[in-house]
Amino acid sequence: MSAADLRRDSVWWGWGRTDGRPTLGAGAKQMLTEELGETKGVEAVPIESVALPAAQPLSEAVLDAAGGEGAVSTNAEDRLRHAAGKSYPDLVRVRAGSPSGAPDAVLAPTSAESVGAVLATCSAQQVAVVPFGGGTSVVGGVEPLRANFGRLVSLDLTGLRAVSVDERSQTATLGPGLRGPEAEAALNARGYTLGHFPQSFPYATIGGFAATRSAGQASTGYGRFDELVTSVTMQTPEGPVSTLQTPHTAAGPALRELIIGSEGTLGVITEVTVRIRPNPDTRRYEGWFAPGFEEGIEIGRALSQGGVEPDIFRLSNRDETRVSLALAGLGGLRKRALESYLGIRRRSEGCMVIVGWEGDPESVARRRELSAALLRSGGAVPLGRSVGNSWEHGRYEGPYMRDALMDAGVMVETLETSHTYSRIDALYTAVRSALHEAMAGQGAPGIVMCHVSHLYRDGASLYFTFLSARRPGGEIDQWHAVKSAACEAIVSTGGTITHHHGVGRDHAGYMTAEVGELGIAALGAVKDRLDPAGIMNPGKLLPD
Amino acid sequence: MSAADLRRDSVWWGWGRTDGRPTLGAGAKQMLTEELGETKGVEAVPIESVALPAAQPLSEAVLDAAGGEGAVSTNAEDRLRHAAGKSYPDLVRVRAGSPSGAPDAVLAPTSAESVGAVLATCSAQQVAVVPFGGGTSVVGGVEPLRANFGRLVSLDLTGLRAVSVDERSQTATLGPGLRGPEAEAALNARGYTLGHFPQSFPYATIGGFAATRSAGQASTGYGRFDELVTSVTMQTPEGPVSTLQTPHTAAGPALRELIIGSEGTLGVITEVTVRIRPNPDTRRYEGWFAPGFEEGIEIGRALSQGGVEPDIFRLSNRDETRVSLALAGLGGLRKRALESYLGIRRRSEGCMVIVGWEGDPESVARRRELSAALLRSGGAVPLGRSVGNSWEHGRYEGPYMRDALMDAGVMVETLETSHTYSRIDALYTAVRSALHEAMAGQGAPGIVMCHVSHLYRDGASLYFTFLSARRPGGEIDQWHAVKSAACEAIVSTGGTITHHHGVGRDHAGYMTAEVGELGIAALGAVKDRLDPAGIMNPGKLLPD
């Protein structure tokens, strides 16, 4: 197998491209020092000093099932690149040169049948399998946890990237290994879009979107990924399962909804059919400023319950608004000019709102007018398109900023939840307080940023980002204490443990709070039936 | 228990109210004779001559769990009224005085805890349980099939009818025993609507809507019932399961989607939280006439893919258009005047389209204009609001017409499916041909009516109604032959066996075609975990 087959086009120790990476400006560094105290910078070790456990040999049967030598790599860098996702603890460990284990080999079969053969063989031979799409999980979804298995392989889906389009039905059948931009380019070439643009878009894959119930920045308009999927095929150790390709069925419990969100614990998704749309002629993004976070949520409620929500709605709390300005500036807009403008309008304590509409020019204009009326009546003031365009320009850059913050010695992590409009203020307050308290309890003050990223008629999502000075040598304990405090706050307020990041390793312990013990037992019964040996992505999704 | 507790406010042998029932006019009778030949009328036997099997005694423990004497009936009429749903074979058997068995008792607990206690006790004592909401299943969903169980109870949910509304989040938490109009009235009183109006609305219940993945006449606009549900609680023999009341979660496979559509085979739904909307100020319904069925589907495709679909879209094929005119007339509109108008406009071979918009006047006007432009460019001509209002007036009257047809000796049955726009013409042709051939093969010509009832971006539903002269004494065999032919045609064309009627007894044999053997095994594993004794609604949903 050549290295290129496994796509080494990003840094191994963090996120994304090797060149032209955003860095922290002087203003950002000053703000961090002022708010977090002095931090001790730390960069990734050289790749040569990464210590991987020795690779255990695999049987000929497993290698043959994958497609033979050309579909197998035991190269150290390939193993390293499949040893972790992109969560903060993942990156802490990888950058320190000590990932939590590594697969014994990376298998990259090129057909669904071969995937099925690998799973059946691994099941018979007690080899754990971690399905690997883009490897962008931020919840420990691709950690090579072995449970009781002596051997573990990473099953890379790079080889499954077929695209076929049914223009009449506006659906596309996509291979799981297609990255966001690859799928989008193939659809754009025919005049369509999937409309799925999570921050992980440049590297995340179609299979991962389905397996983790992904939601993207425009999902308020286009629908979350689970809403876009019409049918799905999954290979399991016991054989393939697939759902009918029809717009809807009332035939019993939804098997499709068992496969979506299964995070590789039941099998490997090998084909996904999704609804697509004509690629919009017009995209209009704007910045607005709401009087406050609660007031901004009220605007979101008015928009969604009025049926005039924009395709994109992102409302930042005051801290996120402030830090975003300091960290990244606002593109063409001068920060000071903006502050002066807002100060004059008595909105200097307000919250940034990004709104966007996509479609034909007439519908964008019409829908914008309806949204704008509610934004204004909620007390928001327009900042214009340059702010919106600046957001668009940087919409996938967040993870680079995380790397830069980690380089600077900052603990930086995100988590997300959702609740009804009746309970969202309580949820926001509880999680924010828990994060502040926990960070202070770990010995350093913190910043808690939050934004609403998705609107529903009955509620909205909350996406938190928190920063604090890392505790050198104690990063994982520090992270765990803070993350746990936030999760407990979510659970005790009745919010969901995840709105779109998924469960993975990090949230598995909270699944009982989510669906109850009998719910866990029901999901466990499905797992036992489809994966009786328990080889599929051990330690993820369900509590031990 | 008083009889009123179990709501005897409809005829026992058919559908709906006892007074003011629609009947066949002279024109309709003439048309039937011309097209189906002479039919031999047959009415229901007197209730006194219905033969029910002797009721087996139940243990004190079961009766106590239900709530004691006041919550139990072994009255013959109550048992009869819980002995069947409203499918054609159900009604054939009931009208002939020989339903396919009857429950030994009807239990009507008044709390979720009591439901749970009944299920646990029945599980321990090997008593089969058939959950019963409105009893309106048209697929054999409430048949008292005993499998290997010596005793069987019908679990009537009339006692669970709580309503609570969260106005800020626009959600309502509803008891499963609420009938459509009860729930709607409670919401209307607060200014809201559920927007769920299936033809069974007057008698069907909230629990049934959830358990069967119901879709209603306005579901294109408001969403199907499964899309309205945000969370659900189900009692099972092993205990309760419930999902979080949040707008969305990415926490794994969707337990909610396992409960919805489970048709009483896993447990009993005891609480449903749904999204509600402000009750619309304006409802505008119109009739249009499309040049043909295929052309009408193209209009539906343009509307849905253009994002300007009406809330209600119902496109009848030529036979349904013709028969509807003959059977029911069109309210205020004179049939001959309509035909003359259409003839002049060269649309006499065309297809009726009912379209409707609901909301505030401005949004209705705006959306109507957008829809109307596409209707016109698809070749449809407007028939005006009186046709739409006439449809609205009769929207729940179809089942009465079925009773009248059965009185007149006509076999009359419905079935429904869906497919993508690429395959819907093939599906329509296959099912229509299969029905015609099978009816002819049973010795009598038939009429095959069809309409599109729900639009999606990727496809649409097809709802078939077929009529033929009944074969006296051989009704069930005749029905089975015709129904099977249609189901085989659906399966072989890759359509779904049901778009919104559910699986019940009639479609259970086709579930393997729907989700495959391993899919069945996965669903079966959930059943085994939640209902290890197999007492829940035996013989439904999953193939034997």
| One-character DSSP codes across B59-121 | -HHHHHHHTSGGGEE--HHHHHHTS--SSHHHHHHHHTT--S---SEEE--SSHHHHHHHHHH
How much is the pLDDT for A544? 85
pLDDT in tens, A158-197: 999 999 999 999 999 999 999 999 999 999 999 999 999 9
Query: Where does residue B281 fall: left (phi above 0), alpha (psi -120 to 50 degrees), or beta otherwise?
Result: alpha
Tell me if chain A has a CB within 8 Å of the CB of B259.
yes
pLDDT at residue A312 tops 90: yes
Query: How many other CB atoms sit within 10 Å of the CB of residue B54?
Result: 7
Cβ–Cβ below 8 Å for A261 and B244: no
Among the partner-chain residues B246, B423, B529, the one whose CB lies closest to the CB of A419 is B246
d(CA A142, CA A89): 13
pLDDT at residue A340 tops 70: no
Lowest mean pLDDT among A2-11, A441-450, B445-454: A2-11
Tell me if chain B has a CB within 8 Å of the CB of A224.
yes
* Residue A464 parent element (H or E): strand A459-469
B505 pLDDT tier (thresholds 50, 70, 90): very high
Q: If you average pLDDT over residues B342-364, what whole number do you get?
A: 86
Every domain of chain A with CATH number 3.30.70.3450 lies at: 282-395
Is the Cβ–Cβ distance between B484 and B497 less than 8 Å? no
How much is the pLDDT for B324? 83
Among the partner-chain residues B255, B307, B366, the one whose CB lies closest to the CB of A522 is B255
Look up the pTM and report it: 0.96
- Mean pLDDT, chain A, integer: 94
Secondary structure (3-state) at A377: helix
Among the partner-chain residues B213, B248, B515, the one whose CB lies closest to the CB of A255 is B515
Cβ–Cβ below 8 Å for A422 and B169: yes
Q: Residue A454: list chain B partners with CB under 8 A.
A: 248
Cβ–Cβ below 8 Å for B526 and A530: no
Q: How far is A75 from chain B (nearest CA, A)?
A: 32
Tell me if chain B has a CB within 8 Å of the CB of A148.
no
Q: If you average pLDDT over residues A45-69, what whole number do you get?
A: 96
Percentage of chain B beyond pLDDT 70 is 95
Q: Residue B240: list chain A partners with CB under 8 A.
A: 516, 518
Q: How far is A456 from chain B (nearest CA, A)?
A: 7
Q: Residue A522: list chain B partners with CB under 8 A.
A: 241, 255, 258, 526, 529-530
- Architecture of the domain delimited by B163-278: 2-Layer Sandwich (3.30)
* Residue A151 parent element (H or E): strand A151-156
d(CA A397, CA A465): 14
Q: Which residues pair with A390 in a beta bridge?
A: none
d(CA A110, CA A8): 18
d(CA B205, CA B269): 11
The first and second tokens of residue A140, run together, are 């420990």
Q: How far is B321 from chain A (nearest CA, A)?
A: 25
Q: Residue B530: list chain A partners with CB under 8 A.
A: 518, 522
pLDDT at residue A330 tops 50: no
Q: How far is A494 from chain B (nearest CA, A)?
A: 7
How much is the pLDDT for B28? 87
Tell me if chain B has a CB within 8 Å of the CB of A521.
yes
The first and second tokens of residue B280, run together, are 């619309």
pLDDT at residue A69 tops 70: yes
* Residue A236 parent element (H or E): strand A229-236
pLDDT in tens, B405-445: 999 999 999 999 999 999 999 999 999 999 999 999 999 99
Q: Domain A282-395 falls in which CATH fold?
A: Alpha-Beta Plaits (3.30.70)
Q: Which residues pair with A452 in a beta bridge?
A: A315
Residue of chain B whose Cα is closest to the Cα of A508? B251
How much is the pLDDT for B337? 64
Lowest mean pLDDT among A495-504, B62-71, B390-399: B390-399
B27 pLDDT tier (thresholds 50, 70, 90): confident
Which candidate, B500, B328, B470, B333, places its Cα nearest to that of B398?
B328
CA distances from A292 to A232, A299, A347, A368 (A): 42, 10, 9, 22
CATH number of B399-506: 3.30.300.330
Q: Domain A3-156 falls in which CATH fold?
A: 3.30.43
Query: How many other CB atoms sit within 10 Å of the CB of residue A283?
Result: 17
B258 burial class (0-12, 13-18, 19+ CB within 10 angstroms)? buried
pLDDT in tens, B396-407: 999 999 999 999
Which candidate, A485, A453, A479, A467, places its Cα nearest to that of A402?
A467
Tell me if chain A has a CB within 8 Å of the CB of B460.
yes
A27 pLDDT tier (thresholds 50, 70, 90): confident
The first and second tokens of residue A21, run together, are 């990476």
Q: Residue A239: list chain B partners with CB under 8 A.
A: 518
Contacts of A365 (CB under 8 A, 6+ apart): none
Among the partner-chain residues A255, A262, A458, the one whose CB lies closest to the CB of B169 is A458
Radius of gyration over alpha carbons of chain B, in Å? 23
Q: If you average pLDDT over residues A360-383, what whole number do you get?
A: 96
Every domain of chain B with CATH number 3.30.465.10 lies at: 163-278
A345 pLDDT tier (thresholds 50, 70, 90): low
For residues B100 and B371, the model is more confident at B371
Lowest mean pLDDT among A133-137, B23-27, B491-495: B23-27
**Which 8-state DSSP code applies to residue B453?**
-
Determine the distance from the C-alpha atom of residue A136 to the mean position of all C-alpha atoms in its chain, rounded to a whole number: 7
How much is the pLDDT for B265? 98
Query: How many other CB atoms sit within 10 Å of the CB of residue A307?
Result: 13
How much is the pLDDT for B5? 76
Q: Residue B230: list chain A partners with CB under 8 A.
A: 458
d(CA B173, CA B229): 10
d(CA A475, CA A412): 11
pLDDT at residue B332 tops 50: no
